[in-house]
Amino acid sequence: MTKSLSLLLSSLLLALIAVPQEVSALSRDRWTNAQPYGVFFNDYDPNFYTGFVPRVQDADRIKIHLGRGNQLRVRMVLPDETVDNFVTDQVAKHDLYQEVIDAGVIELTANKAWEDYDKNFNESGLREVAAKKGTVSPEEWRQLNVQALEKLQPDRVYHIQKDFGQMTKEFYASLAAAPEPKDLGGKLDLVNGYFKNRIFAYDLTKEQDAALGELRALAKAGDEAGFNPKAAAFFADVTDGIYSIEDGKIDYYEYTAVWAAGTYDKTTKVNGQEMPWITTPGVWTFIPRMHGKGITGMVDYISSAGYYGLIPMFPYEYGGGIAYNAIHNTGISNWIQGHPLLPKEWKTYTDGSRNGKPYNRVAVTSRGPVSHGCTRLGSGHLAELREMLPSVSEDMKGIINYRNVSQCYDVFDRKGDGNEEVMGVQYYIAFRHTNERVAKHIWAQNNREDFYKWLYGSDMNYGPIGDVTFNEACTGKFVKKKAKEGATYENIKLYEAPYEPETIQFYKIKGVSRLSRESMDFNREMRRVGAGYEVDRKKLRLPAKKTAAAAK
């Protein structure tokens, strides 16, 4: 933790009236739930993602939320380009992997994620669907892409449909009835209510503030006819135009992923309850890493420290020297044989092992206090996140990362149907590690009930999946990049997103050191396939593609 970060954290603590706690509830017991989590592997080799998430090339359409319960939620408003190119993007990615393998550029190591992915790809029929492009109408082509997306990404794709006229009517009524806002926070409450859970404005420009004042005056005067067109223009402005409106309707597809996340290695106590401490709360944006041990100047920075898994990380705060707070991988892996905490069954785990023998290591994220200030994801989930974001570093700058105060949950309406839930995920592992990055304590047993009792405390009423409720749960609020306690919900349910298996394939680049610049460039380029981006074949040690004229 750098000096500047320490000062910032101290001021935030005063604002929260919360005192960081010394570690408690820790034990050296072995986990008893044998369900495998994370990524099993042998060495810190380069790797590529073997799954089917969509890619969005527009930073304004991507929002990230971290809240109590230690989970990271990514929401992407899918543009037409993402939907219409989903199938062809998946084919292009698969075929690039196949080409570097067949050309002997890389040698697959450790696991057989490629073989599983190749099988799933062939069984999905994606290539057959891609062959229909240009032979069917644009409407039919779009529907084929939607069907493929929904099939390959269940529980993550939502069709959001709203009557914009009705939304505007309700916004009009809310402004007409609301008293004069006392401050910026009050104004933001009104603005965000226009499209609840889909607008997360945290500040207003002078022009937006004036426009809101004019809209309030029109609503108070009962001038709905004058209000409606100005409200539509205001809506487009505060949402960066990401929601297209046709025939008075908002109709689009949205993608939501939820993963377990590790936070700062201490707990804090708020209102008498102890919980993981979320440091640097507020609104942060992705920034290029200008200092470090890897190739700097990029948002998708790759560290030369092997324990970061050779997967791009995403900085959001500079801390001085070469220190940054970032979203990165587990930052630790555990030698399996002889480890006193890991389930005994993991010692003989061979599923997908390339040599048929048990793996040497496993990388699992800790869903609890673990980091020095960063946000940690499972290695496979970090690779998945990278696959969802814009192809190039420049286009990732500014992606917003909302981080709640420690006591506030991420309350969200996944389907856009008014059913708000506390966000969670089916993942039950939390531990601390030594300075040598060896897991040494567990926060709770890795069964759902014991883990939830530790994670949620007395807020929670335990039950089966889908039936966990909270007597009271506050949601976050953001004003001028500062996080605050927002609205409080009563008897609200917990949504438990399924744990998404972490699918990455390890490999070695023949004749190239894995920590060299050439290796990092190769690793980064393998993750950039997407409509609108032309892969740099030279970086991938592949021959240039022949043009149509040269082929003749």
pLDDT by residue (tens digit) across 30-45? 999 999 999 999 999 9
Q: Which runs of consecutive H residues, i.e. helices, occur in 103-223?
A: 113-124, 126-130, 138-152, 164-177, 184-192, 206-221
**β-strands 157-163, 245-246 pairing:** unpaired
How much is the pLDDT for 188?
A: 98
Find, among 464, 462, 486, 490, the residue nearest to 475 by Cα.
486
How much is the pLDDT for 24?
A: 55
Query: What does the domain layout of the chain look like in residue ranges?
Result: 3-132+254-525, 160-241
Residue 449 CB: number of other CB atoms within 10 A? 12
Report the DSSP beta bridge partners of residue 250.
Answer: 162, 245
**Do 81 and 532 touch, CB atoms closer than 8 A?**
yes
Helix, strand, or coil (residue 71): strand
Find, among 28, 7, 24, the residue nearest to 267 by Cα.
24
Find, among 214, 181, 176, 200, the residue nearest to 410 by Cα.
200
How much is the pLDDT for 6?
A: 40
pLDDT by residue (tens digit) across 469-525? 999 999 999 999 999 999 999 999 999 999 999 999 999 999 999 999 999 999 999
Q: How confident is the model at residue 7 (pLDDT cuts 50, 70, 90)?
A: very low
**Do 49 and 386 touch, CB atoms closer than 8 A?**
yes
CA dist 65 and 158 (Å) reads 18
CA dist 216 and 177 (Å) reads 10
Percent of the chain with pLDDT over 70: 94
Query: Has residue 22 got a pLDDT over 80?
Result: no
CA angle 76, 79, 84 (to 5 degrees): 120
Query: Has residue 307 got a pLDDT over 70?
Result: yes
Residue 13, token pair as written in the block:
């603590």
How much is the pLDDT for 29?
A: 96
Question: pTM for the full model?
Answer: 0.93
How much is the pLDDT for 547?
A: 57
**DSSP letter assigned to residue 195:** G
Query: Has residue 213 got a pLDDT over 70?
Result: yes
Find, among 176, 178, 182, the residue nearest to 231 by Cα.
176
Q: How confident is the model at residue 11 (pLDDT cuts 50, 70, 90)?
A: very low
pLDDT by residue (tens digit) across 87-99? 999 999 999 999 9
